[in-house]
Chains A and B, each alone.
Chain A
């Protein structure tokens, strides 16, 4: 009954929402490439910059240097201290966000058309000539250490750490890019200056802009903004060698609800089967209320509030990851259901109905992501980092729809490895 209604509606009218963004490929006079969507109806611009490398570029023994450096970019430049910088930024009603990840660092800026030049000039100072003065270093170091201390007793963070240490061997992914209390305490100003030279380099920058700006203006703006950064940075790490022992490891921690991470090998973003794997994951544990894991663990048994799974194609490793939280007395049941579902999907595959339903959802939800200038800017930078063409926005749903039942079930049997599914549990789970 429920599928009948749903499918009839789809048949009656095709989905009208489309990701109708007109992407221009822009190159600045100095050769910096960017993607642009002009949207002149609201007088502001969202600018997204990403530099590949991120925490992976931390030098030996300097874990956390990139993260601390990024936290200091807004804390003073030239003759401005942190407070003068913040006052200048707020007077312009601009905002800059500086973020670190394992694979990249990002800068998300938002500024009014009327303050374009001043807003970019200020951001240039933060990016190109941060002062890293000692007072600021100490202040931000204490803030980072406060975060690290808090994460020591957060069950989700404990699970992530235990999991990474177990899976990633001696790759940088095995430790957190925030560093440890010891490594962060030992970082010197020279370490931070070096991290700045390493992380923000022109050969690894990806740019997108969405809003009230033209291609010509953007090109000039990028030259003004970025010229002066180093041309190239140090080598990136190689691929991680992953270990999945298929066991369930418990990290004892006194808390009422256990949290679990689980994973097995994933798939590269450019694999011809990636779309099939993506749909497979949607059916298994993707977003929405209709996945197999959500149905079996939550809707039928009430064992959790939230469960989900994700394909995680990182720059140097591919994983298929899931997470679930369940009371200490029920986690063993939740894990047992997850293992059963994993094995069942590997051997039996999906039904044609499930495949069609997942396609309809994924192709319909895709254009809904393009719902603000800032969101579009983030999507465009992500596409560039994944080496996707501008046309991907239009072809993506066709490629999703091209996945056949034979293909997805072949991928299910090839990719899914129930004996490799490895659990890392934090809490006091009974019976594990």
Chain B
């Protein structure tokens, strides 16, 4: 077995030792081949969620092969040496379970919801398809048609989604987050079996995977089963730290106008490049999270709703959103749907005035306290869904955060001061790193000139 500890040690400090580390009902350990394991105990029912996360997503694709990470996700349900195409899901179903998978820019995850006594079988099948994937050329071509129909459904049939692709492409000058997860159509049309297998052999290995088991299980049993099925798999020694092309300084704001006859309700968006959560350093992201809640979280009490929907009737909908759960720089995004007879440029100006006023006034202490109360309560509510908890840990660990970071997240949010919020507002809401888009039904709108 090759030494694989050093790259893992850099990225996953918490897993430097293979001793069981337990916090509350969450236990973590690492197999000798570098595969990380997270066990979340919840004994309220006799079911479990089993997930295998790969630390590879669309933003890791080679140039010109957009969509291959997601295409491979589909092909992982074809056969292996021992299983026929479709047999994986059929076996899960025949054991009374459900299964599926998903791909993001940063990770690819496969999961089953199933009775707890079926874990052995699930892990055996996941280990099998981690290393033994087989498929025929005909299966690949048919499945390519399926993902093209998926693109049709998710993107081509939705003008909002089509615009969103353009906005991401404009937001990222150099980073692959500017390329859609599903892929650009003309590149998807050319994806081959060889592309899929080459991506698979490069990235699907135990030292690039995280097993998350949540539900009616005990850590020692999971450890035994994980060792049994994954323990003998060879790590890929060539996998180093994930270094992807980063954004250069963004020096020019970008303005887009998009029209499509299928748009019946005009709206505007503004997004800013924003920092993400980093392991051991989540304060900036926590401040941005609070900022988005204060500015555009609740439809009745947020600052933008107050200014644009209550004090004036400029808009029928406003929102601000931010999620720091990404590997590289993310976005802080505003959406405004203007009231009838209000021009997009007026809505935009009102939004900018409100943002400036917020920065000048500072957060209302009562508003901030109320939002923090919600975060405090969210820890209690979050205990209710094991699959949600499994997702939270799996996603975090896939982007280089640790179990400790996940558990520190809410305390960090609660610790953020008003000053920190204003500071991140000033540093992040910088027009030179922004994209503004006007989305309309009719003729070319007046965007592009508004200052």
Contact = CB atoms under 8 A, between A and B. Distances in A.
B224 interface: no
A87 B301 contact: yes
Interface stretch (B91-99, B169-177, B430-438): B91-99
A290 to B, nearest CB: 5
A110 B386 CA distance: 17
A257 B77 CA distance: 25
A391 interface: no
A10 B94 contact: yes
A83 interface: yes
Interface stretch (B53-61, B144-152, B420-428): B144-152
Given A13-B117, A16-B116, A17-B116, A325 B149 contact: yes
Contacts of A155: 157
A302 B142 contact: yes
B157 A9 contact: no
A110 B385 CA distance: 14
Interface stretch (B11-19, B39-47, B243-251): B39-47
Nearest to A327: B152
Interface string A331-361: 0000000000000000000000000010011
A245 interface: no
Contact of B156 (A16, A41, A256, A368): A256
Nearest to A326: B149
B261 A146 contact: no
B44 A257 contact: no
B157 A93 contact: no
Contacts of B376: 93
Given A16-B117, A110-B381, A142-B339, A361 B96 contact: yes
A321 interface: no
A146 B317 contact: yes
Interface stretch (A195-203, A370-378, A412-420): A370-378
Interface stretch (B1-9, B204-212, B262-270, B272-280): B262-270
B377 A112 contact: yes
Interface in B89-127: 89-91, 93-98, 113-117, 121
B227 interface: no
A262 interface: no
B316 A142 contact: yes
Contacts of B84: 1-2
A305 B94 contact: no
Given A153-B262, A360-B95, A371-B386, A93 B149 contact: no
Given A298-B146, A325-B153, A368-B113, A93 B94 contact: no
Nearest to A82: B300
Classify chain A's interface size: 35 or more
B426 to A, nearest CB: 26
A6 B90 contact: yes
B265 A305 contact: no
A257 B156 contact: yes
A374 B384 contact: yes
A363 B96 CA distance: 7
Nearest to A17: B115
A382 to B, nearest CB: 19
B387 interface: yes
Given A112-B377, A299-B142, A2 B149 contact: no
Contact of B98 (A10, A288, A300, A360): A288
A85 interface: yes
B149 A17 contact: no
Interface in A64-119: 74-75, 82-83, 85-87, 90-91, 93, 110, 112
Contacts of A257: 149, 152-153, 156-157
B149 A304 contact: yes
A146 B381 CA distance: 32
Contact of B45 (A112, A300, A367): A367
A31 interface: no
A129 interface: no
A139 B94 CA distance: 51
B144 A2 contact: no
B132 interface: no
Nearest to A143: B316
Q: Is the interface of A mostly helix, strand, loop or mixed?
A: mixed
Nearest to B375: A93
B370 A91 contact: yes
For A295, A368, A372, which residue has the most chain B Cβ atoms within 10 angstroms? Answer: A368
B413 interface: no
A97 B152 CA distance: 32
Contacts of B153: 257, 305-306, 325
B45 A370 contact: yes
Contacts of A301: 142, 145
A371 B390 CA distance: 13
Interface string B72-95: 000001000001111101110111
Contacts of A112: 377, 380
A15 B93 contact: no
B146 A304 contact: yes
Interface in A127-179: 139, 142-143, 146, 149-150, 152-153, 155
Nearest to A39: B44
Nearest to B46: A17
Interface in A212-243: none
B94 A368 contact: no
B141 to A, nearest CB: 8
B264 A150 contact: yes
Contacts of B386: 371
Interface in B30-55: 44-47
Nearest to A152: B264
Contact of B91 (A2, A256, A299, A374): A2
Nearest to A16: B117
Nearest to A302: B145
Question: Which 8 pairs between the two chains have the least Cβ-Cβ distance?
Answer: A364-B96, A302-B145, A93-B377, A6-B94, A17-B115, A257-B152, A86-B300, A305-B150
Interface of B: 44-47, 77, 83-87, 89-91, 93-98, 113-117, 121, 141-150, 152-153, 156-157, 261-265, 298-301, 306, 309-310, 313, 316-317, 337, 339-340, 366, 370-371, 373-374, 376-377, 380-381, 383-387
18 contacts: A2-B83, A17-B47, A86-B299, A86-B300, A87-B301, A254-B262, A257-B149, A257-B156, A299-B86, A299-B142, A301-B142, A302-B142, A303-B149, A305-B152, A357-B94, A360-B94, A364-B96, A367-B46
Interface of A: 1-3, 5-7, 9-10, 13, 15-18, 20, 39, 41-44, 46, 74-75, 82-83, 85-87, 90-91, 93, 110, 112, 139, 142-143, 146, 149-150, 152-153, 155, 254-257, 259, 287-290, 295, 298-306, 325-327, 330, 357, 360-361, 363-365, 367-368, 370-374
